[in-house]
Structures are given as C-alpha cells and as structure tokens.
Amino acid sequence: MRLGMVIDLKRCIGCYGCQLSCKAENGTPPGVFFARVLKQVSGKYPTVQNTFLPVLCNHCDDPPCVEVCPTGAAFVWEEDGIVDVDHDKCVGCRTCMLACPYSQRFFNDETRPYFGEGGATPFETARASHHQTGVILKCNLCRDRVRDGGKPACVENCPTVARIFGDFDDPNSEVSHLIKERGGFPLRPEKGTKPRVYYLPA
Amino acid sequence: MNIIDPKFGTLEAEEKAPHEDNTWVSSSCALCYGSCSIKAHRVDGVIVKIEGNPDSVVGKGRLCGKGVSGIMSHYDPNRVTKPLRRTNPEKGIGVDPKWKEVSWDEALDEIAAELVRIRAEDPRKLLLQRTTTVTASRLPFQAFAAGFGTPNHSTGGGGLHCGNGAHLISGIMHASWGVLPDFQYCNYAIYFGASKGHSAGHASTSNMGMAADARARGMKMVVVDPMCNFAAAKASEWVPIRVGTDGALALAMCNVLVNDLGVIDAPYLKAKTNGPYLTGPDKRYMRDAFTGKPLVWDERAGGARPFDESDPADMALEGTFSVDGTACRPSFDRLKEHFLQFTPEWAEEITTVPAANIRRITKEFADEARVGSTIVIDGVTVPYRPVAAIAFRGSQGHKNSVYNFLAVDLLNQMVGAADVAGSCLGFNPTCHGHPDTGQPWYEPNADPDGLMITGMWMGYHYPYPVGAPRLPQNIGLQDLFVMSMTSPFLDSTDREKLWDDMDLPYRPEMIINYGSNLLMSIANKDVVAESLKTYKMIVSFDVLLTETSEFADIVLPDCDYLQSKDSRSNFPFIFSLPAGMGEWCWPIRQPVAEPQGEQRPMAEVMLELADRVGFRADLNAGYNGAINLRPPYRLEGDKKYTYEEICDHDLKNNFGPEHGWEWFKEHGLIKWDKKPEEVYWRAFVDVRVPIYWEWMIDTHKEIAAIAEPRGLQIPEEYYDPMATWLPCLSHEEHGEGFDFYAFYYRDIIHTNSYTMENPWLDEAARLDPFSYNIAINTESGRAQGLADGDAIAVETSTGRRVEGRVKLTEAIHPEGLGIAALAGHWVDTMPIAKGKGVFFNELLELDYEHASPVNLNLDLCAKVKITRLEAAS
C-alpha cells in the first residue's frame, strides 16, 4: 500500500480549510504548515487565471529527504509508504530541508506560542506539547487518524471535497481512477522523486 | 532506507493515561453567521479540536478555515474575564477608559438603575445593538427590546454593509433573506458582486461543497466583479466591471433578453408576477371599481377583469387597452418599452463591459433557460429553468442599492427562473414542518393585490407590504423610510439635524451592545465616535476589548460560542440553511467549556437585567411573540425561566415534548427530508411577485409629504416603479488625480473585524497576497510609478485617508482599488489584530447624501487618489 492524495483544482476555492484544519490537528507552531494554500495570478487583464494551489509533503516514492538524512530519523513506513520523522533520532541538522524540492520540511527551533508573551494556550499545551524542539516537523498524512480508520484532517475537512486520499498501489482506488481519467499531474516531476500528491486540472 | 522502530509513532507506543473527560460535543460554530454545525473535542476540560458535524447538513461535516480556528479565539489570553467599569469620564478614540474591575452585582445594579430611569421616562431612549456574527443573539435581544418597549435595535454594520438591498428584494421577490443558484440543477449562473459558495455567511460551508459539485457537474459560472478573487477565480468567465455599475449591465441584459431575443416565460409572467396588471396614465394599477382589485386584460373575454377572476393564460402581457375610456397597458408592456433605452452600447459606456459580451452572455442565459421545460424530482413534476442571476453585497452595496439588485433579479423573472428547479432560489421560504409535529410551518401568502408576503422573516419589518410612512419615532427613521432596515442615522453626521427636523420626540441615551464594533463596522471612525460620546451610558458585552469597548461605561465579560447555549443556531431557515433538495436540519448550540474567570452568557444576563428592572412578564411576552410559543409552551406571567428553560420550550414547541433541551444536548440536532413542493414552492403556492413596483409612487409621495416640508428632499427618480440606472456619487466625481474606485470585499479567512485577532487566521492572512494589501491593477499602478509592496496613502476628496501596502495584480479592473475585509484595528487590547490590514470604512462618509433614499443602504465605494509614501521594504 502506498498512500497518497489527489487534489482537484477545479473544486478547490482557496478557503484555507486544509491549512487551518491541519494546524488544529497537529498544533503546529507559527510558521510551520504541513498544509498550505498558495495563490498565483497568471495571464494579463482581463484574461487572467487566479489559481489556488494547496501544497503538502508529496510523500515521494524516492524521497531525497530520507536519502540524505545522516541519522536515520527521516524514514518511510513500509506498510503504507508515508514519509515520516523519528524525532528521537533527529538531530536537527536540516540537511533534509535543503534536499526537499517542495520545501515541506520545517525546523522547530524553539517553543513559540501563538500569542507570544500571552503564553501557550491550553490548546497548545494539550496539543503541541509532544513537539520536540531542535527537530524537523512535517506532514505524516495524519498517520494516527489513518490507522484509526480515518482520513487525514485536511481531507476529512475540505469543504469542497477537493482532496481525495487513497492507495496509489491499487489500480481500482479512487485516486488511481481520478489520475487516469482526469489527467492528474504531480508538481516538479523533473526532480524525479516520484511524488504521491497529484493534482487534477482546474 | 532507514530502519523503523515498529512501534514508533503508533498509538500503542504512547502510554496514555485514561482521560477522565474525553468527549465530542455537538454544537454550532459562530466564527461567522453561517453557524455551521460542529463537534468539539474536549479532553480533561480542554478543547483540543473542532471539526464539522457530519450528521448535519449545515456544513456537512466540514468547516472553513475560520471554523477550525475557533479554538484560538476561544483561548485568546486577551479575553475579558471580569466586569469592568470606566473611571475616566472623558471618551474618545485612544482615550484610556481607566478600567476598574467591579463585581457583577455592582455592574448590574448600575445598569439596572439606568434602565429603570429610562423605562420610566421613555423606553425608546434605549438602543439595543448587536453583532451579525452570532445569529442566535437576535432572539434574546429582540425579546428584550419588545419587553422593555424600545423600537430601537440594530445589527452593527450588518444591513448597511450587506443586506438592505439583498434582503429587502430577496424578501419581496423570493420570500427569503437572500438568493443563490439551485446548485443541484443549475447549468448557468451569473453572479453580480456575490460570492455564494466561495466565502463566508449564509450556509457558507455547505454552499462551498454544493457549488463545487455544480462546477464539477458542468455548471457554467459567469462572475461579474471588479476583482478576480474567490468566486471569480472559479468562474468559467470573469466579467470585470466598473465598481457599482452592475445595475446598468443587468438592465442592458434585460433589454437584450426581452426586446432583441424575445425570450420570456409568458405563462410564468402571467400567473406568477404582476406583469399582466393594467396600469393607467398615472402609472398606477387600474382597479376594479367594486372590489378594488388590480385589473388585467382578459383576452378571451375581450375586457378587463380583476386579476383573481381571470385565467392567467388569458391575461394580456402586451398591448394598449381602454378601460372605461382610460388608456392603459399591462405593467409588463411598460417594462418592456422601458428596457429599450438600456442598449448594450449604452451599458458599455457605464460598465466598461463590451457590448458584444453583454449580447453573448444574455444569449447564453436565454438559451440555457429552457423556457417551458419541466423535470421530475422525487416523483413530482416541477418547472425546470437551469439558469440563475444572483447578486449580493458587492452589487447592492451602493446608493443605487435597490435598482441594482432588482435589475439583476428581473433577469430571472423574465424567464421564470425563480424558485423552480435549477433556477435562482431563495433559501428555504417554504417549510411544512417536521413530520411528527408539522412545525415549524411557514409559506408565502398573498396580499389583497395578489402579491407575495413572505412566510418567515428575521426582524425589523416584513419587506412587503410596505408600511405607511409616518413622522419618525425610531432613531433610525425606518418608520419614515419604510423600505429600509438597518439605518445610517444612528451615528451619521446629520443625525441630530434629522432628528430635530423630523421632530423626533426623544433622544437616545443608552446602548446595550452585544459584541459589535461600531467604531469600525459602519463608516469612518470619527463620525461614529462623535455619536457614541453623546450617550449617557454604554454597556457592552464583549469577549475582547475592542475599539468600541473603549467608549463603554461598563464592559461585561461574555461567554463565547463554545461556552453558550442557543436553541436555534440555524433558525430561521431562510438565513443559513442550505437551499435546494436535501434535509431540513435544526441544530442547537451548547457549552463545551466552562466560563473563564467571571464570564457569563449574555442571554442569562439579559434575563437577570429584566428581573432587576422588573419587567419579566413583558420579557416573557416578548419571547412568546418572538418565537411564536404556543400553549403549553408559552412562557407564563412573570415566571422566572432560565435561558435553558426558554430553549427547552422553544424546542418542544416545535418538535414535541420528547424533543426538549436534554434530547438535543445528546443528539445535537434534528433533521427530516425536504419535499420538492417545499424547495420548488413557486409552482405550488398561489402568489405573484412584482416586476413593476407600483406602490413606489405612493410611498414616495407619502414620505415626501412628511420629509420635504421639513427640509429633506426625497428624490423621485429613486421611487419609479421600474428599475433604472442611477449612478453612485463616486461616478460623478471627476477631480484631478481621483482615478480609482475604492471598494472592499469579503475575505475568505476573515469575518467582520472579529477574526483579525485570531492568530492562525492572521498568520494565513499575512501569507495571502491580498488579505492585508491594497490591490491595484498592474498597469494602472505602474502608470502611477508604483511597485509591489510600496506604501501608499489612499484619500477621498473629503480628506478621509488610509495607508497600506500595494499589491499589483492583473486580476482587478484598471479603475478598481480593492481592500479586503474589515481590518486595521488600533487598540492594544487586540494585539494580534492591531495594525494589520487596511481599515477601508475610514473612507466612507455617513450621511443622508451617501445613503439610498429608499432603503438607506450606504454607498460603499469611494473615488480616491493615491500617493506613494515609500518604496517596498
């Protein structure tokens, strides 16, 4: 099983529901986004295209972040292909950040509550207390939720149902069908990392 | 590949102590007035997650970015936790109130004493003011106002900034609070300054999903908007338009549709509108001498008949007839001729939309309308008109609010695309109730002229029939301007003069405010500040100390939506339940967390205040009226009910004795299936809607008769029965250097001014290219020597001024200057929000001249010039 995601750019409306439900699920500190929405205007007035592009870790089949990790902290789960970090092994050297062509790895340098001097909220204390500092944080497709039979928070929450989660190994899965039928494409395929986040054209 | 510890990161690896408290609570969001259904996860007293409630159709188990971020608003360390009393009598912007903490008892004693004095003198001196964000706050405030005896209540910037046009005309034409495309069946939707399905507000999250389904199904979406963001970004065609000119475009489209293409739904116009009603030389209806009913020309009988004595199929829509020697014409005939002046070439001059595009889009709309077709849904045959023209805040947020919105809706009316399958839908105007109880039950009905009266409404007055104007008794003059709802005259520069001239027999002296930030949410801050200074006492229920709290005498620490209860977070259904087929759904709001410090829920405090003042019996009567409680659930005499008991009565009143508060606490909501006869009610309910607003002639005369002798001119052109084009003040301003029309738009990650303090939403907005910046067309900006990130000043000809950073973009009209949301807080007590974004409303004047003389909607655009202050940092 190789889990991954298909994002339908026709359905996405750039509401930031993924970016923020991810934050709520993972309690990520300021500046750290396992999921983000990018906006890009192309064309010339009045013929313009305003594109909303949700991004996240691509959970590559050939992840350069794992290849370069000197301590073995960056790894791939054999059972589902999810690219993850063992924080107990991570020494925060940040080599993986340089290696990732998608800028989807984040260094957690210190504990920073969102309200600054206001201190950590009870939510942050409860939800983010397990984040180690001096290590890399990244998306692991909400592996706990998935192992409980659920879907990643960003998928389950997307108001436009633009995110579809599934097994890329299964030719009959919804993700496999959508990629085939709708001409799905990954970002920066030239990097050769074989990403498992595909996009359907707007 | 690296080696994995097989247990790492798995649930069994974590040695979790069992939690004493580990609960998911079903409730309702309140980050915007969409009030989506949520499930909040509480572990050992701490809310650790908020998700959508998949059992509910309100959000359908999903939430927008704002909704999932509610936790951070809830746990904001800047929240007010104790009652505060100001010790500095001087009030002003930036003047420290020098707060002193007081006990609830002290605070309520002082408030009650003032209320007792005012109620004895003249209860109308009390103004009840609330935010639009928490929809359910309407009930306790409405009941309190009724019980206390004041007609003066208002909803922040609410009506002035969205609804005086949209709600009025949606009410008159669709019996609902607003309109949207029937996403399940519509094939071609034209949006005029609306973002349904792409932003906040009415059923927003559900609409996001339904609109996405519609696009995926192939619905074409043409979006008329000065900016290509949100809805326009997802459109099959973006139609950039000069700010505020949507009405001119819609009128030209009506002309092409009716006169060039000749596409109308004649059977619909005859049976469901006042199109066949005969009008005489004075533009009024010809009426039957005996019954007083409007006459139609019965072609089979060859003579005039009262409208209700003739078969609609026999009614003439066109021609000139003679009734008792008076020449008369059906109102449709007049309207058709009236449209002729609005040629596409004329509209191109005003709107900048090329005439050829106007013709093409109208042709596409006409072709897709499939006039005459039907479809079978759930075994019921209903008319099928899969086109919709919708409008909302953008197009009707102007001085010409009424005609801009009406002109758009006339496109639907001409082809019968109103509340039938695939068409423009009002949200849920007909409900036949839960199968067990038949409640709640409402549907539109007809007045003596056959015209529609909405079956359900939200406050102020019904949109139709229009009341008789009188010398005003309300500080907002809504009883003089009888087609208005929210009024600018509570705070306008000319309010005192208007009150003097109109002999208002009292002056307001006290405000009880629930969460609205008036200083920011109406217009420029100075005019509102001057108004607030005149009040003897301002009491404000607040979660945070806002710019408006700074003017309060007493601040009461409010519970937020995660600490409060409401029996009807999504009722009335005309407000924020998804339209179209599916399920009716009635969720509640219930506390997930305890109050912090001494916070108390507003609804309970209002009950205690009524007791302290001594009008519980009147308050109970106010609740009985506001929620139509019937025996045995009517509140009795002066019996002291808790708010939870009132909620319990409300629920049992609608859903029977077994479905009270306790049942809802456990289940969160009740739902049942919608029927096609409810959703597509237009074909099943015998009412007509006015495409010709005949009453406007008399309404104008009656208002003018009162106002003009007192020095207030009521321009007649705003009261013509037929929608026409009237420019904004900004369109007539041609000062040198004033090259841009400034407008604001709703940002998808912010609601009003409240969410600016949420650090997650603030962070997202800082990363967004537009949220906190001033959008200007790339070429227009470069012509002024501007580059991305430059600091600029934006000024009006009256010297109103804001500053901000430029974002040059191809996605905006060359004359547009777009500012997002309601940003630019300045108080230290909202440290996350302070200094973020641009305070657009500062550019707005607030007086009669800048308001529609019909519905008092404020003109929300301003002609501005820009000055470069410094280069990008």
Average pLDDT estimate for B786-807: 97
The shortest C-alpha distance from B775 to chain A (Å) reads: 12
Q: Domain containing A170: what range? A: 3-200
Number of domains in chain B: 3
- Residue B460 scores a pLDDT above 80: no
Residue B258 included in any domain:
no
- Residue B199 scores a pLDDT above 90: no
Q: Domain containing B847: what range? A: 729-870
CA dist., res. B696 & res. A62, Å (int): 71
| DSSP conformation letters of chain A | --EEEEEETTT-----HHHHHHHHHH-PPTT--SEEEEEEEEEETTEEEEEEEEEE----SS-HHHHH-SSS-EEE-TTT--EEE-TTT-----HHHHH-TT---EEE-S---TTGGG---HHHHHHHTTPPSSEEE---TTHHHHHTT---HHHHH-TT--EEEEETT-TTSHHHHHHHHHT-EES-GGG----SEEEE--
CB contact (8 A) between residue A21 and residue B63:
yes
Residue B16 has what pLDDT? Answer: 54
- In chain A, which residues have their Cβ closer than 8 Å to the Cβ of B49? 24-25, 127
Please check whether residues B759 and B824 belong to one and the same domain: yes
CA dist., res. B185 & res. B211, Å (int): 11
In the stretch 135-194 of chain A, residues with CB closer than 8 A to chain B read: 140, 143-144, 147-148, 153, 156-162
CATH number of A46's domain: 3.30.70.20
Residue B350 included in any domain:
no
Q: In chain B, what percentage of residues exceed pLDDT 70?
A: 98
Residue B245 included in any domain:
no
In which band, very low, low, confident or very high, does the pLDDT at B3 lie, cut at 50, 70 and 90? very low
- In chain B, which residues have their Cβ closer than 8 Å to the Cβ of A41? 228, 769, 809-811
Residue B676 included in any domain:
no
- Residue B12 scores a pLDDT above 60: no
Residue B505 included in any domain:
yes
CB contact (8 A) between residue B10 and residue A147:
yes
Please check whether residues B67 and B92 belong to one and the same domain: no
Which of B8, B594, B778, B782 would best serve as a mutation to test chain A binding (most A beta carbons within 10 A)?
B8
Please check whether residues B789 and B846 belong to one and the same domain: yes
**Residue B665 CB coordination number (10 Å):** 17
Number of domains in chain A: 1
Please check whether residues B103 and B30 belong to one and the same domain: no
What letter would DSSP give residue B384? B
Which of B7, B71, B596, B771 would best serve as a mutation to test chain A binding (most A beta carbons within 10 A)?
B71
In which band, very low, low, confident or very high, does the pLDDT at B159 lie, cut at 50, 70 and 90? confident
Whole-number average pLDDT of chain A: 97
In the stretch 11-70 of chain A, residues with CB closer than 8 A to chain B read: 11, 13-17, 19-21, 23-25, 30-31, 36, 39, 41, 43-46, 48, 50-52, 66, 69
Please check whether residues B537 and B640 belong to one and the same domain: yes
Residue B103's contacts (CB-CB under 8 Å, 6 or more residues apart) are B83
Q: Is B63 on the interface with A (CB under 8 A)?
A: yes
Q: Is B37 on the interface with A (CB under 8 A)?
A: no
- The last residue of one of the domains, among B648, B667, B686, is B667
The shortest C-alpha distance from B267 to chain A (Å) reads: 37
Please check whether residues B654 and B596 belong to one and the same domain: yes
Per-residue pLDDT of A14-44, as tens digits, reads: 999 999 999 999 999 999 999 999 999 999 9
Residue B142 included in any domain:
yes
Give me the residue from A43, A114, A119 closest to B72, CB to CB: A114
- Residue A198 scores a pLDDT above 70: yes
Residue B6 has what pLDDT? Answer: 42
- In chain A, which residues have their Cβ closer than 8 Å to the Cβ of B46? 122-123, 125-126
Q: Is B49 on the interface with A (CB under 8 A)?
A: yes
CB contact (8 A) between residue A36 and residue B812:
no
Residue B313 included in any domain:
no
Residue B202 included in any domain:
no
Give me the residue from A13, A125, A140 closest to B230, CB to CB: A13
- Residue B5 scores a pLDDT above 50: no
Please check whether residues B48 and B100 belong to one and the same domain: no
In which band, very low, low, confident or very high, does the pLDDT at B8 lie, cut at 50, 70 and 90? very low
CB contact (8 A) between residue A147 and residue B11:
yes
The shortest C-alpha distance from A151 to chain B (Å) reads: 13
**Residue B436 CB coordination number (10 Å):** 12
In the stretch 238-277 of chain B, residues with CB closer than 8 A to chain A read: 238, 240
Average pLDDT estimate for B570-576: 93
CA dist., res. B741 & res. B449, Å (int): 42
Please check whether residues B50 and B143 belong to one and the same domain: no
The shortest C-alpha distance from A155 to chain B (Å) reads: 10
Please check whether residues B565 and B627 belong to one and the same domain: yes
Closest to B68 (Cα-Cα) out of B47, B49, B82: B49
Give me the residue from B8, B51, B77 closest to A157, CB to CB: B51
CATH number of B66's domain: 2.20.25.90
Q: Is A10 on the interface with B (CB under 8 A)?
A: yes
Residue B465's contacts (CB-CB under 8 Å, 6 or more residues apart) are B447, B451, B453, B695
Average pLDDT estimate for B145-150: 97
Please check whether residues B647 and B743 belong to one and the same domain: no
Give me the residue from A16, A77, A119 closest to B764, CB to CB: A16
Which of residues B158 and B145 earns the better pLDDT score? B145
Q: Note whether ipTM > 0.90 here.
A: yes
- Residue B402 scores a pLDDT above 50: yes
Please check whether residues B47 and B92 belong to one and the same domain: no
Per-residue pLDDT of A111-132, as tens digits, reads: 899 999 989 999 999 988 889 9
CATH number of B499's domain: 3.40.50.740
CB contact (8 A) between residue B2 and residue A75:
yes
CATH number of B769's domain: 2.40.40.20
Please check whether residues B805 and B830 belong to one and the same domain: yes
- Residue B670 scores a pLDDT above 60: yes
